[in-house]
A = this chain, B = another copy of it.
Amino acid sequence: MSQSVSRALHLLVQLGNGPANLDQLAESTGVHKTTVLRLLRTLSDERFTFRDNSNQYHLGSRIFELAAQATDQREVRRIASPHLVAFNREYGRTTHLAAMEGGDVVYIDKLESHDQIRMYSRIGLRANLNSTAVAKVILADLPDSELRPIVDSMDFSSRTANTITTPERYLDEIRLVREQGWAHDQEENEPSVNCIGVPIRGASGRVVAAVSVSVPDVVLSYERVLDLLEPLQAVGARISRDCGYRAQP
Contacts and interface: CB of A to CB of B under 8 A. Distances in A.
Interface of A: 1-2, 4-6, 8-10, 12-13, 15-21, 24-25, 27-28, 38-39, 41-43, 45-46, 48, 54, 56, 58-59, 62-71, 73, 99-104, 124
B13 A46 contact: yes
A43 B46 CA distance: 16
B70 A28 contact: no
Contacts of A64: 67, 70-71
A58 B64 CA distance: 16
A190 B80 CA distance: 59
A25 B66 contact: no
A38 to B, nearest CB: 5
Given A6-B45, A62-B13, A19 B101 contact: yes
Copies of this chain, how many? 2
16 contacts: A2-B38, A2-B41, A4-B5, A6-B45, A6-B46, A12-B66, A13-B62, A15-B66, A16-B66, A17-B100, A18-B102, A19-B73, A25-B102, A27-B103, A63-B63, A67-B68
A12 B62 CA distance: 10
A169 B20 CA distance: 28
A66 B69 contact: no
A53 B173 CA distance: 36
